[in-house]
Structure 1
Amino acid sequence: MSILLRSTLQPPEITKEILERFDIYREEKEIPPEVAQQITAVITNGGLGLSSEEMRALPALQMISVYGVGTDAIDLVQAKERGIQVATTPGVLTNAVAEMALALTLSAARRVAEGDRYVRAGQWLQGNLGLGWTLFGETVGILGYGRIGKRIGELTRAVGMKVLYTDLHPTPGEEEAFRSSPLELARDCRVLIIAAEGGEKTRGLVNRTILKALGPDGLLVNIARGSVVNQHELILALEAGELGCAALDVFANEPQVPKELIAQQKLVLTPHVASATIDARRAMGRLVIDNLAAFLDGKALLTPLNL
């Protein structure tokens, strides 16, 4: 066996093609040592990743193909030290994730998910739900202004929002919209959308101070990684009324979601599905296959990480 498949890829025909085209070992709880010695490539996803210990257990490992763009669950330092190539699937999921960011923003501002529960529970018979607020004319702050962040900017401008952002550096031509820190960004917007990478550099970046700056009328949207938000401080800010509401597709310890978040009626919660469209997942799967084929043929990867 030469390729370790850590999880099933969607749609089903992608996994079927992988099993038919490549020499695959499907992961079990423990990989026999004789198999581990032969693994040269691993197919994984952003959530599972490949830990330091798991990588050390694969001495022949040369390539990791990620079904997604998240790499915070992979030991990139070890990968660089060992010369292990890492490929992700950027670009093909950009539109789907950006659409989800807009959908969550609209759902929270217009109380769509809350209204659905309200009707199903028969509460409409006792009176109206109450008022939401329009996005037109409001300011959105985008934390992380890469491919996905820029696409979110385009979509939110299309519904009449003013766009601000923060990143490592200003984007040429958009300097006026740049804010130097997440705190400055939160102070200047009503909606804060997180599109930053996960990992140690951004762990807990959005803390209670930033949430208080966003304010009791503010909305936090996270379609990036749960680790970017200090989840405990988010709960405290919501319970204290320091933050208006949140729409979350990602959490700190997925799939476990704290009961304190579930209890918040105004929150919109989805199970890490920002890229979960048939179109995006098919394109992601094709890129995984194409990167594997390039690796096995001794060619350059199509979408390598610069380690």
Structure 2
Amino acid sequence: MPKIDILMPAPMSPEVISALDDHFILHRLWKQPDASKFLNKTGPHIRGLAVSTLAGRIDHALFDRLPALEIVANFGVGYDNVDARGAASRGIMVTNTPGVLDDEVADLTLGLLLATIRRIPQAERYLRDGLWPTGSFPLSPTLRGRRVGILGLGAIGKAVARRLDGFGVEIAYHGRARQADVAYDYYETPVALAKACDVLIAIVPGGAATRHLVNADILTALGSDGVLINVARGSVVDEMALFAALRSGTILGAGLDVFENEPNVPAALLDLPNVVVLPHIGSASVKTRAAMGQLVVDNLLAWFDGGKPVTPVPETT
């Protein structure tokens, strides 16, 4: 039986590329001198896509060029880079990589929270700049006595909550609906959650429904001792409103692993002393990224072997 043609629009890890080469005819679109000409010739034969956020938006513009496309295997639990509803309307399956990254992202979230509140990066810079002999680093705020609100209590949100339980802090949450098996206090709106807490952790999916969900009203509700942690998608936070809130003292500080226009980060945010910034590394460990890549491969293999992918997204099931 001839091998199936798979298209990879942008580079993925060498392990994923190697595994797909073993099982499929893998076409590397980024290596084509004329992508449009290549798609005109080869597009009708492509039955699968392996994509990450580096590929940009995957929607009708590409679907139209791939009339035989059956599946889009996305690298990442978030798949707002893929028009899943548009894919579903064409009978195209979409998969993602949930589960294998939950603990890694939760670990990073706690690290970012502690770094932001205890001002760990600022303290390190103080030492490296030779300032310790001139006097002690200023006292930091504390996690003690705080109430943490989790905006989006999905699998990763629950992993974050389990870790926070060990820190002895109160936990509350907001999501699309109250969860019957969750003992934490539930708030009907994000504003109500922010008003009741002084730490807000955003871990909701990206996309149009959550764009700028964390806005000026929520930041005001969070208050002058409040800390925002965003490990969701950059689009979830209104960065202009966040900059204004940080500069004016409307909130105390923020820890950000994601940004609206990655990898470009507004200089205005970088210049603020009360922000800790990371280059979107929530799941970026060798072990976890390897597991995510393997799940991309497994989804493609399972689909073409029997039409039942391992982790389909809800829109296409």
Q: Check the 8 A contact 2:246/2:274 in 1, yes or no.
A: no
SS at match of 1:205: coil
Q: Which of these residues, 111, 121, 144, is aligned with residue 119 of structure 2?
A: 111
Q: What is the alpha-carbon distance in structure 2 between the residues aligned to residue 291 and residue 103 of structure 1?
A: 31
Aligned to 2:24: 22
Task: Give the 5 Å matches for 1:163-202.
Answer: 163-174=171-182, 177-202=185-210
Task: Give the 5 Å matches for 1:219-230.
Answer: 219-230=227-238
Is the alpha carbon distance of 1:175 and 1:159 closer, same or farther for their aligned partners in structure 2, counting shifts above 3 Å?
closer
Q: Check the 8 A contact 1:46/1:70 in 2, yes or no.
A: no
Q: Check the 8 A contact 1:237/1:243 in 2, yes or no.
A: yes
In the TM superposition, what is the alpha-carbon distance from 1:298 to its structure 2 partner?
3.0
Aligned to 1:304: 312
Q: Which of these residues, 49, 52, 57, is aligned with residue 45 of structure 1?
A: 52
Measured against aligned partners, the alpha-carbon deviations of 1:183-225 in whole angstroms (never above 9, x if no partner) come to 0110111110000000000001100110111112111001110
1:13 aligned partner, one-letter code:
E
Q: What is the alpha-carbon distance in structure 1 between the residues aligned to residue 62 and residue 265 of structure 2?
A: 26
SS at match of 2:107: helix
Q: What is the alpha-carbon distance in structure 1 between the residues aligned to residue 311 and residue 57 of structure 2?
A: 17
SS at match of 1:201: helix
Q: What is the alpha-carbon distance in structure 2 between the residues aligned to residue 199 and residue 182 of structure 1?
A: 17
Q: Which of these residues, 89, 94, 105, is aligned with residue 102 of structure 2?
A: 94
Q: Does 1:211 align with 2:219?
A: yes
Identity %, equivalent residues: 38
Measured against aligned partners, the alpha-carbon deviations of 1:48-82 in whole angstroms (never above 9, x if no partner) come to 35133122222221100011111111112211110
Q: What is the alpha-carbon distance in structure 2 between the residues aligned to residue 75 and residue 56 of structure 1?
A: 13
Task: Give the 5 Å matches for 1:121-140.
Answer: 121-140=129-148
Which structure 1 residue ranges, 5 or more long, are not aligned?
Answer: none
Measured against aligned partners, the alpha-carbon deviations of 1:15-57 in whole angstroms (never above 9, x if no partner) come to 3222232210012262411112211111112453513312222
In the TM superposition, what is the alpha-carbon distance from 1:8 to its structure 2 partner?
3.3
1:298 aligned partner, one-letter code:
G
TM-score by length of 1: 0.95
TM-score by length of 2: 0.92
Q: Does 1:13 align with 2:15?
A: yes
Q: Check the 8 A contact 2:15/2:293 in 1, yes or no.
A: no
Q: What is the alpha-carbon distance in structure 1 between the residues aligned to residue 243 and residue 291 of structure 2?
A: 36
Q: Does 1:2 align with 2:10?
A: no
Is the alpha carbon distance of 1:14 and 1:76 closer, same or farther for their aligned partners in structure 2, counting shifts above 3 Å?
closer
SS at match of 1:297: helix
Q: What is the alpha-carbon distance in structure 2 between the residues aligned to residue 56 and residue 127 of structure 1?
A: 64
Q: What is the alpha-carbon distance in structure 2 between the residues aligned to residue 182 and residue 283 of structure 1?
A: 33
Q: What is the alpha-carbon distance in structure 2 between the residues aligned to residue 20 and residue 197 of structure 1?
A: 33
Q: Which of these residues, 251, 255, 258, is aligned with residue 243 of structure 1?
A: 251
SS at match of 2:73: strand
1:4 aligned partner, one-letter code:
L
Q: Check the 8 A contact 1:140/1:189 in 2, yes or no.
A: yes
Q: What is the alpha-carbon distance in structure 2 between the residues aligned to residue 223 and residue 176 of structure 1?
A: 20
2:6 aligned partner, one-letter code:
I
Aligned to 1:67: 75
Q: Which of these residues, 30, 41, 63, is aligned with residue 34 of structure 1?
A: 41
Is the alpha carbon distance of 1:55 and 1:126 closer, same or farther for their aligned partners in structure 2, counting shifts above 3 Å?
farther
Q: Check the 8 A contact 2:255/2:275 in 1, yes or no.
A: yes
Q: Check the 8 A contact 1:42/1:64 in 2, yes or no.
A: yes
Q: What is the alpha-carbon distance in structure 2 between the residues aligned to residue 223 and residue 189 of structure 1?
A: 18
Q: What is the alpha-carbon distance in structure 2 between the residues aligned to residue 102 and residue 176 of structure 1?
A: 18
Deviates more, 1:227-236 or 1:49-58: 49-58
Deviates more, 1:250-259 or 1:118-127: 118-127
